[in-house]
Amino acid sequence: MRTLLALSLVLLLLSLPPVAARGGSGTRSCGGNSFTLRIGVLTMTNASGLFEMLFGIIKSKDVTMENLVMEIPQGDGTLRIEVGHVTTPYAVMKVSTLQVLGLAITHLSDLIPLLLGKSVTWTNVTIVANSMQAQNLLLLDQLMCAGSPDGSRDVYIGADGMTVSSLSVEKVVKENNRLSFSAVSGGMVMENFLQRTPPPCMCITASKASSPETELRAVSIFSPRVWMASMQITDRPHKVRAGGVELSSPEIWATYLDLSSLELENMRVFPC
Amino acid sequence: MLKRLLLLAAFFLFVGGVMAQTIPSPVPLRVPLLFFENLEQYADNYGGVSVLVTNLGWMKCPGGQLLEGLPFLLQMDYAEGTGVQMTAENVESQAGEMENLRMEWDPVKQRWVIRADGGWMENVYAPVYMVVLGTLRYENLRVVLS
């Protein structure tokens, strides 16, 4: 009877979310503010121990994800990141113990290979996470959005290539019934830059544009190929932070743009 | 009937030609180096032509400037002005820097505008329709018949 009681207590403690287990504020609900990952096909090798897993820390190696959709609640809305194909050699995710148990139950046959460090492939996986970080990510067909672009109202920014040393997506803002996300980037360089406003149309082109600090309120950012040296989604409030980012052929729809200083080479401004 | 149609076509071509000629051709403006403050740029319409309007609160051209393509050339070694408005086909520059550059919707103008607190541009070229200067201080102004 005592053993049963002790076991029930241990199970109850384990089922608590990590924040509550650490003695965090009881007013914060776990599920409501967490972000969601929906993955079409997930291939990974487990790198965390049993106790780490029970406490909701999932460490994984050689991760490949196909058709990933991340929904991150921020400010006035939800930031959505859609990626066709993702690869990362190492990622750490913090989830609730209940989530771990749920994943274990739905993939019981893979439990032993997973604990033995073998690669497993799962389809149609949904993970509710509290935070995550990954290194050396390659993302193909990546779309980050808070709403749908409206060409008659939004500014278009395009380039052959874009690099930023740091990128932080702080919050989703709603202005004049338009949802956009506020992104701050450091050390931005764009090759063959084009910026076009809605009618009366005005274009700026430059062979090279660089800015030490850029504040952008974007409706969407698309790139067919993105490389990130590091990426992190922080615990609540969820902020997306990335370092060493390279985007090929980015297409940005923005509602506002502010650059602390912009250096332009071979600039041309013209009505279009 | 054919004669009437030809006459009508000739009339419309003539009217079209006259209307097209109401705006003079733009004049090339070249500035080796331009410093500016309070820049504002937006697309507008000038006599039925899409143009780029550039307003500068203050500007300085230490390397001089040149207006060419007129019956005369206008050249000066140094120019400094305030309240500058330039209506041009476009503005090109080989290199430049803009401080605190913003691209924002202007509710009064009902269009997007580019604003910058200050900056500089090198080897500026702009085919201009009109230049309005609030004040101008210049050195060694030369007017050369071309």
ipTM for the assembly: 0.83
Q: Which residue of B has its CA nearest to A267?
A: B93
What mean pLDDT value characterizes chain A? 87
- Indicate whether B22 pLDDT > 90: no
Q: Does B45 touch chain A (CB under 8 A)?
A: yes
- pLDDT recorded at residue B108: 94
What is the rounded CA–CA span in Å between residue A33 and residue A172? 14
From the list B43, B45, B97, the residue facing A262 with the nearest CB is B97
The predicted model gives A41-70 an average pLDDT of 94
Q: Does A150 touch chain B (CB under 8 A)?
A: no
Beta bridge partners, A112, equal: none
> pLDDT tens digits, residue range A89-134?
999 999 998 899 998 899 989 988 988 889 999 999 999 999 999 9
The predicted model gives A48-73 an average pLDDT of 93
Residue A71 · residue A80 · CB < 8 Å: yes
B91 neighbourhood in chain A, CB within 8 Å: 267-270
In SS3 terms, B25-94 reads as CCEEEEEEEEEEEEEEEEEEEECCEEEEEEEEEEEEECCCEEECCCCEEEEECEEEEEEEEEEECCEEEE
Note whether A271 contacts B90, CB cutoff 8 Å: yes
Q: Which helix (H) or strand (E) holds B17?
A: helix B2-20
Buried b (16+ CB within 10 A) or exposed e, A27-61: eeebeeebbebebeebbbbbbbeeeebebbbbbbe
B2 pLDDT band, cuts 50/70/90, is low
Counted residue by residue, chain A has a size of 272
Note whether B100 contacts A260, CB cutoff 8 Å: yes
Beta bridge partners, B1, equal: none
What is the rounded CA–CA span in Å between residue A191 and residue A169? 22
From the list B41, B89, B98, the residue facing A262 with the nearest CB is B98
pTM score > 0.80 for this model?
Answer: yes
Question: For residue A168, what are the contacts with CB-CB under 8 A and spacing of at least 6?
Answer: A183, A184, A185, A239, A240, A241, A242
A141 pLDDT band, cuts 50/70/90, is very high
- pLDDT recorded at residue A28: 32
Domain borders along chain A are 33-136, 137-271
Q: Does B109 touch chain A (CB under 8 A)?
A: no
- pLDDT recorded at residue A251: 97
CA proximity to B126, closest of B30, B24, B47: B30
Beta bridge partners, A258, equal: B102
Q: Which helix (H) or strand (E) holds A233?
A: strand A202-233
Give A19→chain B minimum CA distance, Å. 41
What is the rounded CA–CA span in Å between residue A47 and residue A120? 12
A1 pLDDT band, cuts 50/70/90, is very low
Counted residue by residue, chain B has a size of 146
> pLDDT tens digits, residue range A168-227?
998 999 988 889 999 999 999 999 999 999 989 999 999 999 999 999 999 999 999 999
- pLDDT recorded at residue B67: 84
| Share of residues in chain B with pLDDT > 90 (%) | 67
B94 neighbourhood in chain A, CB within 8 Å: 265-267
